[in-house]
Chains A and B, each alone.
Chain A
Amino acid sequence: MTTEPIRLVDHVGLSGEERSLLEAGRSRPPFDYDVNRGFTRFQATLAAAALTTVAATSAKAGSGLFARSALLAKLGTKVLVTVAVAAGAATAIHFASVRRAPSPARTASAVHSPTPAPKLIGAIATSASATSRDAPPTQPDAVGAPPTTKSESGFPAAPGEHHEAHRAKREGAPLAMSAEAAPAIPDIDVHLDDEGSASAPSESVIDRAASPASPPTPTPVPTAKAAVVPKTPPAPPKRAVKPSPSVVAAEIQGIAKARDLVSRDPRAALAVLSDLGKQYPNGYFVEERRALTILALAGAGDGAHAQSAATRFVRDYPEGPFTDRIRALAGTPRPRAP
């Protein structure tokens, strides 16, 4: 351990001039800084920064809402395309079954099944992709159907269905089907362009689509209802879409007040947040309010409620701006990216 040097001002051999300068420097600051005025400015800066954060969060939430709307529109398009393809497939398979006597198994699975739509969707999707894969590159439209790589319903085709589709294709059914389903094709084309999969599908993509391990959730039992309404992740609570500026300003003020109180007086913050919740149950800053409530509950020592609220919060806003902090508070690790 090193010894501390002696201060210069305590040196014996210091000149009077040196000593007087050092003592002057130690005794008074070089100029008089007005701490109170500086502090007022600092507080104003902090408040402005807090409001900027809230505004940025709101903008992010707004864009999230926008993204959710776009996702819903996309899903709607998918449903329409799915229904159109299913209708075409059902018609074509019906024609094929009329043209030649089907085997009992095939009849049971493809024609007389009480819930034919999803299976047919899977079959037709796989069939179409297999057809385009088998077709010569110089005649990409020979089959009359657009190439697709996976089931339009979002469910992977079961292996049996895959086989079934191949057999149907060999029998010429998909060709007839595609011709029959021609009016629905433009929609499919647009959808495929959007998905970026309009090019010829690769084997691996098809295999992934057919593999039961590819979807993140267990493959549900396909039903007609499931085919029409694809499963979506749980939607977070709705925000008011177009609140009036005065309402937003009042809500912001309440949020800012609560934020200011959270560290100093969590119980007072809870009271403010409770009032906010009553006044704006579906306000524009619900996420902020809920995050602050959790922090206030934790600050007030109500760990049990904070923990349960944090769990609900993380579930509702898995990617929110406050979620990492709430996760850290609740001690829940961030799930790994797939």
Chain B
Amino acid sequence: MHPSPEASGPVDSETLFKRHAAFVASFLYRLGARESEIDDLVQDVFLSAHRKGGYAPGPASPTTFLARLALEARLAKRRNESRWRRNQREDVALATVGTRPQDPSGAFAEKLATMKLQRALEAIEPGRRAVFVLFELVGESCESIAAGLGLRVGTVHSRLHAARKAFRAHVARTQDKDDPLPVLGSKEEIR
């Protein structure tokens, strides 16, 4: 996943949706949003972009511009939630999760890696996680991340450093454990 080259002019919200909805959904997932709420959050993000008049060219790329809106939407959603129950994570049939045909043999490995990565990401504090995802997984530049999230470049560097440290520590901690699928969360959360 790399940032797509964007036209130099402004981009309206509908075009943004077509080009970047998948990224926003993935980003929200990696921020810890439940799958059942991701479509609502995606709609919120692009409605917010629509209200802002779409994307205007600048130091922030469309991806980092939308990442900030996604962060805000996620925070607003969490504020409204009474409690986040991770054990209900997989309980809703998702209207907008696609049914892309997959190779059964490769699907499991991919799913496993995705889950392990998600566990590692959840070990990172959310503000740092957003920077980590945008830089390491999406491939955005620090300057674009700083412009999109409204941070200084130095802050992006320090958050990235801290996020990497947490990521690597988590991987090192769980590398030898043969339990790659604890997706339901800790026992405390289940109770």
Contact = CB atoms under 8 A, between A and B. Distances in A.
Contacts of B167: 8, 18
Contacts of A33: 21-22, 25-26, 38-39, 42, 96-98
A35 interface: yes
Contacts of A34: 95-98
A38 B42 contact: yes
A25 to B, nearest CB: 4
A30 interface: yes
B25 to A, nearest CB: 4
Contacts, number: 126
Contacts of A43: 14
B113 interface: yes
Q: Is the interface of B mostly helix, strand, loop or mixed?
A: helix
B96 to A, nearest CB: 5
Interface stretch (B55-63, B75-83, B133-141): B133-141
Interface residues of A, number: 34
Contact of A2 (B13, B98, B142): B142
B14 A42 contact: yes
Contacts of B98: 32-34
B17 interface: yes
A24 B120 CA distance: 13
A113 to B, nearest CB: 62
Nearest to B51: A49
B133 to A, nearest CB: 8
B137 A26 contact: yes
Contacts of B117: 21-22, 24-25, 30
A31 B24 CA distance: 11
Interface string B1-44: 11000000000111001100111011001100001001100110
Nearest to A27: B1
A42 B17 contact: yes
B171 to A, nearest CB: 5
Interface in A19-59: 20-22, 24-35, 37-39, 41-43, 45-46, 49
Most interface-central of B1, B13, B117, B118 (chain A CB within 10 A)? B117
B17 A8 contact: no
B1 to A, nearest CB: 5
A299 to B, nearest CB: 14
Contacts of B50: 46
A18 B26 contact: no
B136 A22 contact: yes
Nearest to B137: A25
Interface in B126-153: 133, 135-137, 139, 141-142, 153
A53 to B, nearest CB: 12
B1 A42 contact: no
A46 B99 CA distance: 26
B86 interface: no
Contact of A29 (B26, B35, B42, B160): B26
A61 B149 CA distance: 40
A28 B26 CA distance: 9
Interface in B84-113: 95-100, 110, 113
Nearest to A28: B110
Contact of A39 (B21, B141, B153): B21
B117 to A, nearest CB: 5
Interface in B148-191: 153-154, 157, 160, 164, 167-168, 171-172, 175
B154 A35 contact: no
A31 B35 contact: yes
Given A7-B136, A18-B167, A28-B110, 13 more contacts: A4-B142, A5-B135, A8-B136, A21-B171, A29-B22, A33-B21, A33-B25, A33-B42, A34-B96, A41-B43, A42-B46, A46-B14, A263-B12
10 contacts: A4-B141, A26-B2, A28-B114, A29-B23, A30-B29, A37-B95, A38-B21, A41-B39, A42-B14, A46-B14
Interface of A: 2, 4-5, 7-9, 15, 17-18, 20-22, 24-35, 37-39, 41-43, 45-46, 49, 263
